[in-house]
Amino acid sequence: MQVESLQLRAVRQLLLNNTSAQPHLSAASGMWIVDQTLYVVADDELVMGVFSLLDQRPGAVLTIIPGDLPADAKQRKAAKPDFESLTCLPVSKNYPHGALLAFGSGSTAQRKRAMLWPFIGPQQLAAQAQLFDLHKLYQPLEQVFADLNIEGLVIHGNCLKLWQRANNQHRNNAVIEYALADFYTLLEGRDEQAMIQPQRIDYYDLGEVAGVPLTFTDAYALDDGVCVFTAAAENTDNSYLDGECVAAAIGLIDAQRQLRWIKPVQPIYKLEGISAKQINGQLQLYLVSDADDPNVPAQLLETTIDYPI
């Protein structure tokens, strides 16, 4: 039986204001929405874009890591921090207004860093981001996954979940769960020796298109514990090289960790970020795309699904 596609609607291109050296984000990879403000990280940049959902004005640029990446494509790929996911750390004693949190993919040594950017007031970020090392989190995972590639990051209650992306050669999509308290131990440097061990790992087969497996590219946790996710069928054998995106999809994993459905999207974009908002029996989904071409602006897209299912 053929599954009906979800239709994507273009909202805006992720253009940047003219004070930036770059005209747009191209490889949008993680997103977070606060009220009507959209924050976007890109996997080939050292900056974060900040956009309004109320108009089409180009976005502002905030520097995560000072400096510049090489213009040459191969050198840039080797040097980039590869921030692939973006979420919000909840309000706590140390972060009374919460904080934006982005993780590198972990696919190379250079990509085992995270960004923490505290809010100091409503929609007001601190003067600069903080960077910290993820080796204590990622090293145990390298004993489990032959090709580590963390593409999603969600926090729900006392649980932090990482979303491992598969590829043609290593087809294990997985959701890796941690106690949020253990992550705070890493963040605050309270135990300099201990590795952070996952509490649980669940594996998912998302199917394939034209022989190419669908693989996790991002996720978002709803208040009830359900997670919506994006997936792409990208024809590549490893976490380092890009390939043709032959299909993309949106799926849902319920609060009991069961894959309930996965639906293709049209038109096909390589979706790399997702956010959701429940409105009157529906979920409004916002998504960002990665064009895999520095000359093509990333898109902000939207679709809706009936919810609860």
User: Residue 98: how many CB atoms within 10 A of its CB?
Assistant: 14
- Inform me whether the pLDDT recorded for 1 exceeds 60: no
Fold of 6-306: Tachylectin-2; Chain A (2.115.10)
Q: Which residues pair with 264 in a beta bridge?
A: 249
The pLDDT assigned to 20 comes to 65
Q: What's the pLDDT at 71?
A: 85
Query: pLDDT for 70-127, tens place per residue?
Result: 888 889 888 889 899 999 999 999 999 999 999 999 998 889 999 999 999 988 999 9
Judging by DSSP bridges, how do beta strands 200-204 and 208-209 pair with one another? unpaired
pLDDT digits (tens, 9 = 90+) for 158-198: 999 999 999 999 999 999 999 999 999 998 877 667 899 99
| Distance, CA of 171 to chain centre | 19
**Among 289, 144, 248, 128, CA closest to 202:** 144
Q: What residue spans define the domains of the chain?
A: 6-306
**Predicted confidence band of residue 236 (pLDDT cuts 50, 70, 90):** confident
pLDDT at 239: 66
Q: Give the pLDDT confidence of 17-47 residue by residue, as tens digits.
A: 977 678 999 999 999 999 999 999 999 999 9
> E strands of 43-158, at which residues?
47-52, 60-63, 83-89, 99-104, 113-121, 124-125, 130-133, 150-156
pTM of the entire structure?
0.95
Find out whether 300 and 49 touch, Cβ atoms under 8 Å.
Answer: no
